Structure 1
């Protein structure tokens, strides 16, 4: 069964993405994007305190809904814990205050999925951050706890902890790191809710190869190959990329951001399109199965 989908809302709270041309949408347009996504059956709204005023925009939308309205599950994140080594009580207070602030901004009784935004906090402070997450889960402030990771190594750390309920991983048509080692399958078998993000690699996949900035020139050739394959299949690069992730077994949800209502509608049309033939999937794995981290990991773009 194809993955459900989540609306990524980083673009609603701030200009986001290497290919962003529209900038941050006006507040009225952001509400229209949320309304359209909810009407289309979006399963999750994905946000974070560092996404500008994204949480406030979602909270304002939720506050204005009737009591009978269906609100998607909320995914938000704990900001990176940049405290000096402190005792468990101090870190508990920091985490509790952070989640309560998100609950207040979002106008919800609890957070459905609460993730570490910085995977370093899986082990920071002697494990006290993870203990603090477990505490707010026991108190009912959050329903699931987890982490948003950048690398397979960070996901392995999350697996070893054995106490997390959810994980976000980067996964797209150019980034197969979680597929080559069957790590996606292992995450699924662990019982964690698995979200795929970076479906368009922060917009890089949507760029014309000649427009890619010089520090990312190694991405130009893979992007040319992607466009050739998409043209052969009578698809756009965006359609081909989204279908590749949508059809992966083991994903609970894929996170799709947008800057405009038309981008959202395009994504919805692709979500409902037929599955890719297995032969096409094999060609994709052959063409893009082993690209360097300098291309596929945005942390290294800096």
Structure 2
């Protein structure tokens, strides 16, 4: 496993980050309930095995069900060996409104205390906004509260998890957020537009959705009719991977890690086989330039259609 500086945070992270949502709540294609998930003992074993495989960077969130608690059990006696990133509770109510002045800081402080207790630690290596939109990223009370947590030593660095290119651009250019976690993969490469700016400003980039919730794997077959065009495009990428003697997930991971701006790639891991596969993919070198450029050209022609929350809502990923 290789380790890379996460921007200017002072954190040196493994190129593969353990995505903690799958061990905490039902998530992903074919995962419908807790009955489909790992049990506590199995999840703790998987976390420890991930550490043994060289992964030192673990991503979780207050909104990820049991994820923080399980990491707390696994790493309470190994805290100095791991880098833990968690995310704040959501701010907006069901109507989409932000809390009144003064309440935002209260939510942030309460959320971080809950995370610290669940994780059995007195600090977080990285604390992030969860689903940070433009208004939240610029919200003075939000910024002040996060900076205060860093000043108090409860978090070592602060960042934002974004969805749109506009949000990522704002976060990178703000001068506040030290790390940005953003979606990027072979099909949807729009966020590459912020990569150079992040390098120039020393902002660390963590990539999520690299396997597009499992679609860039064997799960990306026999998709429902609305996703037939997506499936056909995935077949083109699988053909490229096969021509290189690779499987599609390995190509997807290596593609993301071939960008110098990218420090770490989040991979959802809920099986030993997924862990070993991701670790092996990261041990390989970056893609050769010709292959890299070919993969860039195979971006999906209508990336705006790639909207996982909408696909979930429509039941296309069940």
Secondary structure of the equivalent of 1:32? helix
Give the Cα–Cα distance (whole angstroms) in 2 for the partners of residues 76 and 209 of structure 1. 29
- Residue 108 of structure 1 is aligned with which of 110, 113, 121? 121
* Matched residue count: 295
- Residue 216 of structure 2 is aligned with which of 187, 197, 205? 205
Large movers: runs of 4+ above 6 Å: none
Partner of 2:20: 9
Partner of 1:235: 246
Q: CA deviation at 1:108?
A: 1.1
Partner of 2:163: 150
Partner of 1:45: 58
Q: Deviations over 1:163-222 (max 9, x none)?
A: 11111011112121122x3x1121122122211111101111114554213332331121
1:79 and 1:118 in contact (8 A); partners too: no
Secondary structure of the equivalent of 1:252? strand
Partner of 2:88: 78
Relative to structure 1, is the Cα distance of residues 121 and 153 closer, same or farther in structure 2, using a 3 angstrom cutoff? closer
Q: CA deviation at 1:289?
A: 6.1
Give the Cα–Cα distance (whole angstroms) in 1 for the partners of residues 171 and 289 of structure 2. 31
- Residue 272 of structure 1 is aligned with which of 283, 287, 293? 283
Give the alignment's TM-score, normalised by structure 2.
0.85
1:1-302 superposed matches below 5 A? 4-18=15-29, 20=31, 23-63=36-76, 65=77, 70-82=80-92, 84-88=98-102, 90-120=103-133, 122-123=135-136, 126-179=139-192, 181=193, 183-207=194-218, 210-288=221-299, 290-295=301-306, 297-301=307-311, 302=313
Task: Say what the alpha-carbon RMSD is for the aligned residues.
Answer: 2.3
Q: Deviations over 1:1-58 (max 9, x none)?
A: 8852211111111221125599311212111211111112213110011111000000
Q: CA deviation at 1:262?
A: 1.4
Q: Deviations over 1:201-259 (max 9, x none)?
A: 11111145542133323311211111211222221111111111122111121111212
Give the Cα–Cα distance (whole angstroms) in 2 for the partners of residues 281 and 160 of structure 1. 27
Q: CA deviation at 1:290?
A: 4.2
1:19 and 1:202 in contact (8 A); partners too: no
Secondary structure of the equivalent of 1:211? coil
Q: Deviations over 1:98-125 (max 9, x none)?
A: 1011001001111111111021275379
- After superposing the two structures, state which structure 1 stretch, 12-21 or 150-159, moved more: 12-21
Give the Cα–Cα distance (whole angstroms) in 1 for the partners of residues 87 and 226 of structure 2. 30
* Structure 2 unaligned spans of 5+: 5-14, 314-318
